[in-house]
Amino acid sequence: MAVEDDPRKTWPGRLQGAWHALAGHGSTANDPRGAPQALGRGEHPQAALIASLIGGLPDAAIVLDAAGGVIAFNDAARFIAPALRQGEPALISLRMPELVDAVRRASKSREPQRVEFFERVPLDRWFEAFVVPVKLAGVAGWRADVLLMTFNDLSPLRRVEEMRADFVANASHELRTPLAALLGFIETLQGPAKNDPAAREKFLAIMQGQATRMARLIDDLLSLSRIELNAHLQPNTPVDLAPIVRQVADGLQTLARDRSVAIKLTMPQEALIVLGDRDELIRALENLVENALKYGEAGKRVEITLGPAQTRAGAPEARIAVRDHGPGIAPEHLPRLTERFYRVDVADSRAQGGTGLGLALVKHVLNRHGGRLSIESTLGQGATFTMHLPLRTGDFTPSGELS
């Protein structure tokens, strides 16, 4: 869809002014001088100057002559219109009808134009384009006015907008489900089950479960946004990972017992110190172990292994691997698991009280710590979720002990 605006208020409008100044005269774009230029007459006499000017722009830029022939374009413009050729009519290589229309309108009206357009191939991308008539110093035999087209990639902005909309839709949906259940039970308790103590007990227990679920969801959302807000601040408190692993394993013993799953710990001899936020690391590991207990229940054992390792670049790191022997995860789900609200089996996760925020939280916690999450799984053979955290190196002696 084409969207008109007043580009004189935006930077291409200002660019137009600068261009005039560079061209060394102040005449307006509405009094064209110079002879009409026919295509195929060879290179525009100022093509080299124009090319070097737009070559310095960060965004795509194309300059057309009065007849719509390409005078010059920069490297970034090749991505938008790969078929552009100097001296050839631009309307052939600009495949987007909105853009072609804007060029026609700018050429006819001598007024700046702004359009938005969407490209599907090779990737979904949104652009805004400004087509601004610019007057250059007249050159014998060439019309003085050219069209300067500049492009702005709106895709990152649009993606953020889409993500925000998706997020609000998902969060509201997740809250609405337990809320609807609560309202339903309240009505029943006020009406048909008013004098039924057995039903009241049963319904109150369900209502408590639903309210807890809502509280947890809000808690997780707040944690996520707090971690995101602090994403650029890397924590700097030295934290020993072994006690964290023990604490998480101990804390989840009840859940493990309920599910008849045995947790096996493998710990290193030496202390593994990272710069971190203890609570966030506990929260992240808790989610991984809880997932392994909930979704890998069938495997009957979960192994947590803490140990030193090296990144691909050779830097020392600590790894906490949580392995289960459950059903595993199909490969098509793996890249999406850390998206907010993404669940392989929504009904199964909901039945387990899950909201689909756990792995998003893990990912953000690890990012903030300069680490990462890796997931390996083969269907039918369980899954391994590994937290990679950079080891604090500064105070280590060569033997690996803290000085």
Ligand X SMILES: Nc1ncnc2c1ncn2[C@@H]1O[C@H](COP(=O)(O)OP(=O)(O)OP(=O)(O)O)[C@@H](O)[C@H]1O
Binding site for ligand X (CB under 6 A): 220, 287, 291-292, 295-296, 324, 326, 329, 337, 343-345, 349, 354-359, 383
Q: Which does 337 bind (CB under 5 to 8 A by kind): ligand X, Mg ion, none?
A: ligand X
Shortest distance in whole angstroms from residue 13 CB to ligand X: 47
Q: Closest CB to ligand X among 90 and 329?
A: 329
Cβ-proximal residue to ligand X, closest one: 358
Q: Classify burial at 356, counting beta carbons within 10 Å of its beta carbon; exposed 0-12, middle 13-18, buried 19 or more.
A: buried
Q: How far is the CB of 223 from Mg ion (least distance, A)?
A: 13
Residue 326 binding target from Mg ion, ligand X, none, CB below 5 to 8 Å by type = ligand X
Whichever of 5 and 376 has its CB closer to ligand X, that residue is 376
Min CB(15)–Mg ion separation in Å = 51
State in angstroms the smallest separation of the CB of 337 from ligand X.
5
Closer to Mg ion by Cβ: residue 150 or 384: 384
- Residue 46 near which of Mg ion, ligand X, none (CB within 5-8 Å, type-dependent): none
Residue nearest to Mg ion (CB): 358
181 binds, among Mg ion, ligand X, none (CB under 5 to 8 A by kind): none
324 interface partner picked from ligand X, Mg ion, none, CB below 5 to 8 A per type: ligand X
* CA distance linking residue 32 with residue 110, whole number of Å: 9
Name the β-bridge partners of 69.
89
Could you tell me the CA-to-CA distances from 309 to 383, 387, 388 in Å, in that order? Answer: 20, 12, 9
As measured in angstroms, the least distance from the Cβ of 220 to ligand X is 6
Minimum CB separation from ligand X for residue 292, in Å? Answer: 5
Picked from ligand X, Mg ion, none, the partner binding residue 115 (CB below 5 to 8 A depending on kind) is none
Using the minimum distance from each CB to ligand X, give the nearer residue, 80 or 217. 217
* Beta carbon nearer to Mg ion, 61 or 249: 249
Residue 344 site contact among ligand X, Mg ion, none (CB < 5 to 8 Å, cut-off depends on kind): ligand X
For residues 220 and 277, which CB has a smaller minimum distance to ligand X in the complex?
220
State which residue, 115 or 289, has the beta carbon closest to ligand X: 289
- Residue 292's binding partner among Mg ion, ligand X, none (Cβ under 5 to 8 angstroms by kind) is ligand X
What's the closest the beta carbon of residue 170 comes to Mg ion, in angstroms? 15
Q: Which residues bind Mg ion (CB under 5 A)?
A: 287, 291, 358
Cis peptide before 268 (omega within 30 of 0): no
Cα separation of 197 and 190, whole Å? Answer: 12
Nearest approach, Cβ of residue 208 and Mg ion (Å):
21
Residue nearer to ligand X on the CB measure, 146 or 285? 285
